[in-house]
Amino acid sequence: MAAELVHGTCVALGNRAALLRGGSGCGKSDLALRFLALPGDGELRPALVADDQVWVEGNGDGEALASAPGTIGGMIEVRGLGIAEMPFVAEVPLVLVCDLVEADAVPRMPCDPWERTKIAGVEIMALKLSPFEASAPLKLKMALLLASEQ
């Protein structure tokens, strides 16, 4: 089983997670906070997995599992306020990678089938999102739901 420590933020919707990737200050934690504020119960309740660094481990069955490194579990950086503690999911299947980019770099339609990227030896669906659009948290939720169907 391969494992990889990835720079990014990971959020979950039920039993599926998305890894938000991008450079420092690109909006990973900001988008995660707005995603976590979306309403939802049970399987559709948004949750934090990890902020800043994410462990991704291939389980040998073609599935990648995301979790927080032990020292930062349950913590998220809130720019201007510092580090905040919050509940988090210990481990969840990673089904989507979102590369955060400027709005003009987001294609109007995703590839069919969606692009894929490899992390910890596992191919995972990938797409581009613009993190500061007002609709970005909802797009992330929709992408997580769609990714589980791809």
Q: Note whether residue 24 is domain-resident.
A: yes
- CATH of residue 119's domain is 3.40.50.300
Which pLDDT belongs to residue 148? Answer: 66
Q: Note whether residue 50 is domain-resident.
A: yes
Q: Note whether residue 144 is domain-resident.
A: no
> In tens digits, what is the pLDDT along the chain, a chain of 150 residues?
788 999 999 999 999 999 999 988 888 899 999 999 999 877 789 999 999 999 999 987 889 999 999 889 898 988 888 898 998 999 999 999 999 999 998 888 887 788 999 999 999 999 999 999 999 999 999 999 988 665
Which pLDDT belongs to residue 139? Answer: 95
Q: Note whether residue 143 is domain-resident.
A: no
Q: Note whether residue 61 is domain-resident.
A: yes
CA atoms within 13 A on the CB side of 31: 31
Which pLDDT belongs to residue 98? Answer: 96
Q: Note whether residue 150 is domain-resident.
A: no
The tokens describing 122, both together, are 């596992």
Residue located via tokens 């069955």: 61
Q: Note whether residue 62 is domain-resident.
A: yes
The count of domains in the chain is: 1
Q: Note whether residue 122 is domain-resident.
A: yes
- Residue 26 structural domain: 3-138
Which pLDDT belongs to residue 149? Answer: 60
